Amino acid sequence: MKKIYIASDHAGYKLKEFIKKKLIKKINLVDLGTDNSSISVNYPFFAHKLCRKVEKNDKNYGILICGSGLGMSMAANRHKKIRAALCYTTKNTKLSRLHNNSNVITLGSRLTKKNSALKLIDVFFKTKFEGGRHNKRVKKI
């Protein structure tokens, strides 16, 4: 069964909670932590934790949040089956799905406003991979 996981470090915690609250009626999110913003944690721990879950099923997706979105995407993309996209505009979010079949969206809580983050997540899940010529390119990653 398809699952959508979400995780953050301390810097992304508040945005993670906001997203969970806003999306609770629309999608079933499995929260993998962190559990507060006051204890400083290491973002790779949460990136790897989430990616190990996402890569178990082709239909799984993930949302990772840190301060910039950069560290989470770097760590996530170490996983063979993960195509993590650092999303900051609706256009680059859409392209990450259309052309790259991204399965993890990473967000920077210090650079992206709360409502923009919601919009990016909406675009991410509404956009389907185009396949075709992009298939062979994605396989070469």
Residues annotated as catalytic (active site), given as ranges: 66, 99
Amino acid, res. 118: L
Residue 66 lies near ligand RB5 (rule: CB under 6 A): yes
Minimal distance, residue 49 CB to ligand RB5, in Å: 15
Geometric angle at alpha carbon 49, from 8 and 127, rounded to 5°: 65
Q: Of the ranges 52-60, 67-75, 116-124, 125-133, which one interacts with ligand RB5 (CB under 6 A)?
A: 67-75
Count of residues in the chain: 141
Which of 43, 61, 88, 124 contacts ligand RB5 by CB under 6 A?
Answer: 43
Closest CA to 92 of 20, 65, 137, 84: 84
Minimal distance, residue 46 CB to ligand RB5, in Å: 10
Q: Can the peptide bond before residue 34 be classed as cis, meaning omega within 30 degrees of 0?
A: yes
Residue 70 lies near ligand RB5 (rule: CB under 6 A): yes
Place of tokens 């990136």: 47
Number of residues that bind ligand RB5 (CB under 6 A): 8
Minimal distance, residue 9 CB to ligand RB5, in Å: 5
What are the DSSP E strand ranges found in 17-134? 29-31, 61-66, 84-86, 104-108
Residues within the interface to ligand RB5 (CB under 6 A): 9, 11, 43, 66-68, 70-71
